[in-house]
């Protein structure tokens, strides 16, 4: 398996990965919108035998904590072709992506998902509680990438605009 930065030529394969992984095109369309908007600072693919088998997107977020801006990303989506699921590709994409965020001085990463799964990476719903967000709730979690951060008293966490555009009535 090779994990590398996504290239413009990977667009169709990335779309296919998310459509197959999620059984629909919403996540695939989201990745395209994030890319078009310039809101994907980290976008990685996993290749197996020359085939793109997985993709992860970390999108720009606007986050205020105690009225001060934090440099943050949102993890979403992460998709793996069904034939390769449960083979460690998603795990590798998440770990490598989070390490890139750390080296690029991001302070925190947010995710909306299964707390049992994402806890293995250090995501914690309690760290997201102070942040007002349309996604607030038990599945909204934060990982502090900067060891000096403390849980703020109040805050706001907004995903990239593409997330709101994807929501349809």
Say what the pLDDT of residue 154 is. Answer: 95
pLDDT surpassing 50 at residue 169? no
Rounded Cα distance, 35 and 72, in Å: 17
Gyration radius of the chain over CA positions: 15
The CATH number of the domain holding residue 134 is 3.40.630.30
77 cis-preceded (ω within 30 degrees of 0)? yes
pTM of the model: 0.95
Say what the pLDDT of residue 29 is. Answer: 96
* Domain count along the chain: 1
Q: Which domain holds residue 126?
A: 2-166
Centroid of chain to Cα 90: 11
- Per-residue pLDDT, averaged over 106-110, amounts to 97
What is the distance in angstroms between the CA of the first residue and the CA of the last residue of the chain? 40
pLDDT, tens digit (0-9, with 9 covering 90-100), for 39-79: 999 999 999 999 999 999 999 999 999 999 999 999 999 99
Please work out, in degrees rounded to the nearest 5, the angle formed at the alpha carbon of residue 4 by the alpha carbons of 54 and 13: 40
């Amino acid at each position: 398996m090779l994990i590398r930065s996504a290239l413009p030529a990977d667009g169709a394969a990335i779309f296919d990965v998310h459509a197959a992984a999620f059984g629909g095109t919403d996540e695939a369309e989201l990745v395209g919108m994030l890319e078009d908007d310039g809101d994907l600072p980290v976008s990685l693919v996993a290749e197996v035998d020359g085939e793109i088998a997985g993709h992860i997107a970390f999108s720009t977020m606007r986050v205020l904590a105690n009225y001060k801006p934090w440099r943050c990303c949102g993890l979403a989506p992460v998709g793996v072709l069904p034939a390769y699921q449960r083979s460690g590709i998603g795990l590798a994409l998440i770990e490598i992506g989070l390490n890139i965020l750390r080296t690029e001085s991001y302070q925190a990463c947010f995710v909306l998902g299964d707390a049992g799964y994402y806890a293995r990476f250090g995501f914690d719903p309690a760290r997201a509680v102070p942040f007002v967000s349309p996604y607030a709730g038990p599945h909204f979690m934060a990982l502090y990438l900067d060891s000096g951060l403390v849980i703020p008293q109040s805050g706001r966490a907004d995903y990239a605009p593409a997330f709101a555009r994807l929501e349809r009535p």
